[in-house]
Amino acid sequence: MLRSQLHVQVRDHILELTHQRKLQAGDQLPSEAELSQAIGVSRNTIREALMTLERDGMVVRRHGIGTFITPVPQHLRTSLHQVLPIPELIASSGFEPHIKNLKIAVAQAPSEAYEILQATSNDPLLSISLLYLADKRPAIHVTYWLIPSLNIQPSDWNTFDGHMINFVERLMPLRIHHTVARIFAVTATKQLADTLKVKRSSPLLKMVHTAYTADGQPIYCSTSYQDSDLLEVTVVRQRK
Amino acid sequence: MLRSQLHVQVRDHILELTHQRKLQAGDQLPSEAELSQAIGVSRNTIREALMTLERDGMVVRRHGIGTFITPVPQHLRTSLHQVLPIPELIASSGFEPHIKNLKIAVAQAPSEAYEILQATSNDPLLSISLLYLADKRPAIHVTYWLIPSLNIQPSDWNTFDGHMINFVERLMPLRIHHTVARIFAVTATKQLADTLKVKRSSPLLKMVHTAYTADGQPIYCSTSYQDSDLLEVTVVRQRK
DNA sequence: TACCATTTGTGCGTATGTATT
DNA sequence: GAATACATACGCACAAATGGT
């Protein structure tokens, strides 16, 4: 295993400085030329690192002035442009994540799942339902549906740790490239209200997630329900 | 006025090809070297263009294979990482956007608005409420609150066309750098139900948007309500 | 106003590494 | 192994934006 690319090392170096609070929100970084000389890599490499940091919203670069640590609350940084597994999402909201309830089945799925996964509508789909807890309170109820061709064995589920992306990538030679989330407001059914421990017919946030490879092939989709007052959904969008 | 930068021209050139359907979802682009020679710019410039296209989710680049048009439905492209004004959002969902109802006031605002805008809590804030229509159906009800220091004159409102970002940037020498949206599910109040023409106590999607400059200074915030079945909210998140 | 130093932005050329077929 | 294509990295020159003299 080679050590990682230079610009990633530079990136990590700068992130490390922010974690050590040597660089704080709003602070100006040394100029590209200074960083280049101090670290001993070319200015282009510095620029590459700064560009990825900017893409991910960690720094703001201003022509003719300099590069600054983005003044955005720390907890938002994690959710900028990334796909965040639910346990990490819960953790980044300041709660202790747990997974409580698993139900695995190979069964007929809602027709919507077949459409999304481009599967023939009579194949039974592997599905798994779970309840993510935040500080032992029910927070998100999720049901995943996986495309049939994955061929996952029952024993594989022992290795499932709540990160669906990691799970399928560890088992299969594929890579999730992006996810699409569609967001709705719904009213809690009796069953959902019981599961999530909210009042009957409270409003819930429903999200339909689909994970795709770079080819655009759907790998799995999920439907999740959550109390949006307990666990906020935040989307940071950059311009340009 | 100078012509734009080379890599932007290259980017636009490629986008133009996709609009003309000469390049479609999933198609492979010519190699960097070919593009470089065909267009007559250096390979670095091609790479710069391809990188911004990748950042915005329009293409997928695969090491050792090539660059491909991202196979994502066209209507999602617009919402990838951008901040989209509501009228354009409605248009990209296939509806005709209209703005119906404006109510402008300088008044006390909810305490949340003062917190978000970091304003002293007794100043009256300029607020504007409007109803965005999609094909003449009420779609989104929004109330904006602007920071006091903008000093907008009543006459300025004549130039307001429903794009709040454009509006404030045209009037003031500032630039909105990013927005943060917090998303909730709520139950329609009687008033909201009437305005949006939905049943009493239907579930509605509530979004609290805040627009910031690169300094992290909030410029305005808004609260919006919408029927998520009429107008879906979609978030595409990329990995890496 | 004009000019300057600083800093990021753009663009070119080149060489080499790495992944895929 | 060879061919192809993208990835990384270096060095250089000049443009453009900003802030101060």
What's residue A72's pLDDT? 64
pTM of the model: 0.84
**CA nearest B54 in A: which residue?**
A55
Cα distances (angstroms) measured from residue A145 to each of A130, A137, A139, A223: 12, 24, 20, 9
Of all residues in chain A, what percent are helix, strand and coil, respectively (each to 5)?
30, 30, 35
Backbone angles phi, psi at A234, to 5 degrees: -125, 135
**Which domain covers residue A202, as residue numbers?**
76-234
Q: Which two tokens stand for residue A215?
A: 């080819």
pLDDT digits (tens, 9 = 90+) for A164-221: 888 888 888 888 877 888 899 999 999 999 999 999 999 999 999 999 887 778 999 9
- For residue A239, is it within any domain? no
Å between B29 CA and nearest CA of chain A: 14
* Structure confidence by residue, pLDDT tens digits, B181-232: 889 999 999 999 999 999 999 999 999 999 988 778 899 999 999 999 898 8
Residues A141 and A190 in one domain: yes
Identify the sign of the CA torsion B130, B132, B138, B140. negative
Q: Count Cβ atoms within 10 A of the Cβ of residue B69 and give its class: 0-12 exposed, 13-18 middle, 19 or more buried.
A: buried
CA B211 to CA A219: how far, in whole Å? 35
What pLDDT score does A83 carry? 53
A200 touches chain B (CB under 8 A): no
Is residue A229 assigned to a domain?
yes
Same domain, B64 and B81: no
**Residue numbers of chain B with a pLDDT score lower than 50:** 1-2, 74-75, 77-80
Quick one: average pLDDT of A229-238?
80
Cα B2 vs. chain centroid, distance in angstroms?
27
Q: Kindly list the distances between the CA atom of residue B3 and the CA atoms of A87, A199, B17, B47, in Å, as whole numbers in the listed order.
A: 48, 60, 20, 20
CA distances to A69, B122, B129, B155, B209 from B105, in Å: 36, 15, 9, 13, 19
Same domain? A194 vs A97: yes
* Cβ contacts of B205 on chain A, cutoff 8 Å: 183-185
CATH code, B109: 3.40.1410.10
- Exposure letters B86-114 (e unless 16+ CB within 10 A, then b): bbebbbbbebebbeeeeeeeeeebeeebb
Subset of residues 66-125 in chain B with CB less than 7 angstroms from any atom in strand D = 66-67
Which pLDDT score is estimated for A73? 54
Residues B52 and B87 both lie in one domain: no
Residue B1 is predicted with a pLDDT of: 30
> Are A204 and A150 found together in one domain?
yes
Looking at residue B197, the DSSP 8-state letter turns out to be T
Contact between chains at B183 and A233 (C-beta distance less than 8 A): yes
Q: What is the C-alpha to C-alpha distance for residues A53 and A46, in angstroms, rounded to an integer?
A: 11
Assigned domain for A240 exists: no
Which CA-bearing residue is nearest the C1' of C10? Answer: B5
Task: Looking at the structure, tell me whether residues A107 and A154 fall in a common domain.
Answer: yes
Instruction: List, for residues A118-160, the tens digit of each pLDDT value.
Output: 888 888 999 999 999 999 999 999 999 999 888 888 788 888 8
> Has residue A74 got a pLDDT over 60?
no
A201 shares a domain with A167: yes
- Clarify whether residues A58 and A127 are in a common domain: no
* Percent residues over pLDDT 90 in chain A: 42
User: How high is the pLDDT of residue B77?
Assistant: 47
Q: Is A205's Cβ below 8 Å from some Cβ in B? A: yes
Residue A156 DSSP one-character state: G
Over the stretch B210-222, which tens digit does the pLDDT of each residue have?
998 877 889 999 9
Q: Are residues A117 and A141 in the same domain?
A: yes
Looking at the structure, tell me whether residues B149 and B217 fall in a common domain: yes
Assess whether pLDDT exceeds 60 at residue A1: no
| Distance of alpha carbon B114 from alpha carbon B94, whole angstroms | 36
The number of folded domains in chain A is 2
Q: Are residues B58 and B141 in the same domain?
A: no
Q: What is the pLDDT of residue A198?
A: 96
Q: Which of residues 43-102 of A touch B (CB under 8 A)?
A: 55, 57, 60, 62, 68, 70-72, 76, 81-83
Cβ within 8 Å, pair B239-A203: no
Burial of B215 (0-12, 13-18, 19+ CB in 10 A): middle
Distance CA B15, CA B8 (A): 10
Q: What is the mean pLDDT of chain A?
A: 86
Intra-chain end-to-end CA distance of chain A, in Å: 37
Residue nearest to nucleotide D17 (CA to C1'): A64
Strands (E) across B147-196 are located at 178-187
Give chain B positions within 8 Å (CB) of A187: 187, 202-203
CATH of the domain at A53: 1.10.10.10
